[in-house]
Every structure is written in structure tokens, then in C-alpha cells.
Amino acid sequence: MREVKNCKKCNMIFTTNDGSLFCKKCQIEEDRTFKLIRDYLYDNPGTSVHDLSIKFNISVRRIEEYIRNGRFDIT
Ligand SMILES: [Zn+2]
């Protein structure tokens, strides 16, 4: 079933049928950011959320969301 939603990032209206939170454009950016951080963590295990936030210029809340969703393996 298709749903109409507001993108969590740019607030644009989009439709989704897989529960996505972001429009297509932002989803691509999200995936790219996520991969960058994941690769960075792979090379630098034990990096703190705070340091990641500064390094990738994204909010601590966003990183914590990634962690909550089980996408990163940091403590
Ligand atoms: Zn968007």
C-alpha cells in the first residue's frame, strides 16, 4: 500500500510503499553518509558518537538513530 509522507530531512512530500522516512533524493544521501561512517568505524573502531558527529558534520541524534536501528556496532 502506498503512503504519502513528508520527508524527514527536506520535508518534501513523497510516496512510499516500504515505510521509508526519506524521499528518494535524501535516501541516497542518507545511504552515502551511512556507508562513509560505517567504513570509518571499520578503520577506527571505538570512535565516539561525538567525534563522528564532528567529523561527518551530522547531528549526534542522527547517529544515535542509526545505532538504535542496529546499523552501527558502537557502544
Ligand atoms: Zn528529502
At 13 the three-state DSSP class reads strand
Separation of CA 45 and ligand 1 centre (Å): 30
The 10s digit of each residue's pLDDT in 27-65 is 999 889 989 998 999 899 889 999 999 999 989 998 888
pTM for this model (two decimals): 0.71
74 falls within a domain: no
Separation of CA 24 and ligand 1 centre (Å): 7
Identify the pLDDT of residue 67.
81
Ion ligand 1 neighbours, Cβ < 5 Å: 7, 9-10, 12, 23, 26
C-alpha cell at 37: 561512517
Torsion of CA 65, 40, 55, 53, to 10 degrees: 10
Separation of CA 50 and ligand 1 centre (Å): 25
Interaxial angle between packed helices 24-43 and 49-56, expressed in degrees from 0 to 180 and rounded to the nearest 10: 120
41 falls within a domain: yes
Q: What domain range includes position 20? A: 3-68
Number of folded domains that form the chain: 1
